[in-house]
A = this chain, B = another copy of it.
Amino acid sequence: MQKNARAANNREIERKFLLRWLPDKLQRSRCYIIEQGYLASESAGRQVRLRKKGKTASLTFKVGRGTHREEREIRLSPKQFAALWPGTAGRRLRKVRCEIHWKNLVIELDIYQGRHAGLVVAEVEFPDRASCRRFKPPSWFGREVTGEKRYSNVRLANE
């Protein structure tokens, strides 16, 4: 499990926002490059994703849309990753992810590269439903886009 906040029972509870402006804290945050691609995706948000984050490769299964999703993830060896990665051709994206600590949460800022350069999206993962509901976004957050297909990674990768 790569995420900092992780709900039990293979559920991720997450909200997604556009930004009004980039926060000052960004300069002091930890950033890394993520490359990901999709082996298969169905319309109901069911998907199998391959991801490389630094030297760490993983395969993630997700199903569902919106705030609550089922998520199952395994680490892949470099050899496993290399065997599957060509299957994602034409369905890939690249982004810089920066982790910003904010109150008790970690905000993940995704700064898209390539075709989607200019797009920045913030994701917040919650340990439970209550904290998800209670969440008051910081001033630099813009419109919430949780569950909007237009901003789903699988859609962005396929465009």
Contacts and interface: CB of A to CB of B under 8 A. Distances in A.
A72 interface: yes
Contact of A74 (B46, B72, B73, B84): B84
A40 interface: yes
Contact of A72 (B41, B73, B79, B86): B86
Interface string A64-87: 000000101111100110011011
Interface in A51-71: 59, 61, 63, 70
How often does this chain occur in the complex, in copies? 2
Contacts of A59: 59, 84
Interface in A25-67: 39-42, 46-48, 59, 61, 63
Given A39-B40, A40-B42, A87 B73 contact: no
Say what secondary structure dominates the interface of chain A: strand
A80 B70 contact: no
A75 B84 CA distance: 11
Nearest to A71: B87
A86 B80 CA distance: 21
Q: Which 10 A-B pairs have the closest CB atoms?
A: A40-B40, A61-B87, A48-B48, A74-B80, A39-B61, A40-B48, A40-B46, A74-B83, A39-B48, A72-B87
Given A41-B42, A74-B80, A74-B83, 11 more contacts: A10-B86, A39-B40, A39-B61, A40-B46, A40-B61, A59-B59, A59-B84, A61-B87, A70-B87, A72-B87, A74-B79
